[in-house]
Amino acid sequence: MRTLLASALVLLACGCSDRSSRPSGADATPSIPGGPDPIVLRVSRNGGVLTAARYPALDTTIWRSASRVPPLNRFVAFGAEDGYLAAVDTSGAPVRVDLRVGSVTVAREDTVRAVSSADGGSIYALTAGGDIARYTPSGSDWSFTPPLPAQTLFAQPDGSVVVAGARGDRAIVWRVRPPQQTVSDSISFDVGGDERSLGETIERTAGNIGDRVYFGANEDVLAVRTRDLGKALDVSMGDPVRAITATPSGDRLFVALEGEEALRIVDRFEEGITGKIALPGVPRALRMDPMGRVLLAQGNKDSVFVVSLASDEVMGVVQSEWRGDLPLVLPDAAIAVTRGDDVVFAHPTSLKDMRVVEGGANSFWHTLRWNGFRPRAAGLDQPVQFRTSAPRDSADRLPDSLRAAAESTAVRTDSAAGSTGAGAPPTGQFTVSFAAILDETQARSLAARIRVDGQSPRITTSERAGKTLFRVVLGPFPTRPEAERVGKASGQSYWIFEGAP
């Protein structure tokens, strides 16, 4: 009996050991956290039409840009409120894509060295000539010749721009508020070293998260509060800073130092180094997961180190070319990497191949979370009805070409003998609306690109909150199916509302 009991205990111990040797859920299907729709944007690396798909259904395109996008180098910022996406093309020109109407705007006045945007709409650029320029959707552009050094820009939600640069052995951070032409406030740090290497470090490591901007300055990591340009962090690392990235909350900075096979962790609350993560090699660049789950570090050749931010340990190494878009952490934490002409999705924990997108490496990739591609609810375009309001006159629903005949007192002799028409219901009318835009030029540009059955949309105007809205519409049409047919034939995003515009 004792022998049997001992054997059972041995078998139980062996079974437990086998099960625990593999991490729980190592090959489980990854899930997407709740929130706005997970969107994947793709465009040919040679330029072309930008498309959107709702992840993980990449084979189903839910949106296309109305204009071609130039070859892109990197995306800069996205504003969910207005749907503007800012990017930089391979020639160094700022690019703005309006995801609501599909328009693409490229500012080619000058080659730029640095670009920043807080909302995707207003784009700040540091030109090759040393000026700071602002490009806006409304065309109210602005330029400024800075009296202080400028290596990088941090666009702020309040419309101002914070600038950092090097002068001698000092790092200087300052602010300007367009359309003013003067520096409003500034702060400087004595960090030592020469101006050229200091400026290169600032430009290479600069970042903006929440209410702080941060950058490396020779062997120091500096952070400044944007509300008052007060010093928030000044940590000496002991060696030259190579790269910095921050968690989405901004609570921790991960710092790569020249020649060190590790990452140093700087805590904003402790205001110092609180940890160290050993890596298989020297990191050359860092990329943070937008959800803060993993960190990617570029190693030698095509090696990419995957670091778990839950455990602050290296999960493994994947192989991928390091580009402005890839490798990329997807909404479910899978990692998109290049493999020849294809893109492969690596599992977020086991790093095994999950999916192959053939030819995917020939596209430029980007992800965002946004509900703006969802169809509008039909009730949003219905006129408001009040219980005490009089019924709408049926004549008001007739097109202009028929209204005069309806209001005429003449009676056709062939219809006089028939029914008088009293009590006959009014004919329904449905209008196709493509966009409601504050800028008339953009509205007319969109209308010029649409032609269905030989007809182009017209522009109607309305006032809302003291501003003029320019609506691009076609119709009205006698039935909703006919309006739907015209909307689909246009190849544009559209919605249908009942009645004449």
Q: How many residues does the chain have?
A: 501
**Would you say 294 and 312 are in contact if contact means Cβ atoms under 8 Å apart?**
no
- Would you state the pLDDT for residue 47? 96
Per-residue pLDDT tens over the stretch 394-432: 434 334 443 333 344 333 434 434 444 444 444 468 888
pLDDT on residue 377: 63
Cα–Cα distance measured from residue 309 to residue 79, given in angstroms and rounded to the nearest whole number: 27
If you compute the radius of gyration of the chain from its CA atoms, what whole number of angstroms results?
Answer: 29
Q: Give yes or no for a contact between 100 and 372, defined as CB atoms under 8 angstroms apart.
A: yes
| pLDDT value, residue 376 | 66
Specify which residues 264 forms β-bridges with.
255, 276
Nearest by Cα to 475 from 467, 485, 465: 485
120 touches 96 (CB < 8 A):
yes
User: What confidence score (pLDDT) does residue 279 get?
Assistant: 98
pLDDT at site 407: 42
Give the dihedral sign, CA 399/400/402/405.
Answer: positive
164-172 own/partner pairs: CB under 8 Å, 24+ apart:
164/202, 164/206, 164/213, 164/215, 165/199, 165/202, 166/195, 166/196, 166/198, 166/199, 166/202, 166/217, 167/195, 168/195, 169/193, 169/194, 169/195, 169/198, 171/198, 171/202, 171/215, 171/217, 171/222, 172/148
The pLDDT value recorded for residue 421 is 41
Q: What are phi and psi of 490, to 5 degrees?
A: -70, -25
CA gap 500, 477 in Å, rounded: 9
**Cα dist. 467→119, 257, 437, 461, 462 in Å?**
21, 52, 10, 10, 8
Helix, strand and coil content of the chain, in percent to the nearest 5, comes to 15, 45, 45
pLDDT of residue 387: 54
In this prediction, residue 425 carries a pLDDT of 41
Fill in the DSSP letter of residue 293: S
Selection from 320, 318, 354, 316 nearest residue 334 by Cα? 354
Q: Note the pLDDT of residue 16.
A: 43
Which pLDDT does position 328 carry in this prediction? 97
> Which residues in the chain come in under a pLDDT of 50?
1-24, 389-427
- The pLDDT of residue 34 is 87
> Which domains occur in the chain, in start order?
38-369 (2.130.10.10), 378-387+426-501 (3.30.70.1070)
What integer pLDDT is reported at residue 128 of this predicted model?
85
Q: Which residue has the tokens 């945007």?
A: 117
How many angstroms separate the CA atoms of 373 and 377, rounded?
A: 12
DSSP class of 394: G
Please give the pLDDT value at position 378.
Answer: 60
pLDDT (0 to 100) of residue 480: 87
pLDDT of res. 445: 82
Strands 112-117 and 123-127 turn out to be antiparallel
Of residues 392, 407, 408, the one with CA closest to residue 499: 392
- Residue 475: what pLDDT? 85
The torsion of the CA quartet 234, 294, 331, 46, rounded to 10 degrees, works out to 80
Q: Rounded CA gap, 121 and 139, in Å?
A: 11
What is the pTM (predicted TM-score) of this model?
0.71
* Segment 101-150, tens digit of pLDDT: 999 999 887 778 899 999 999 999 999 888 999 999 988 789 999 999 99
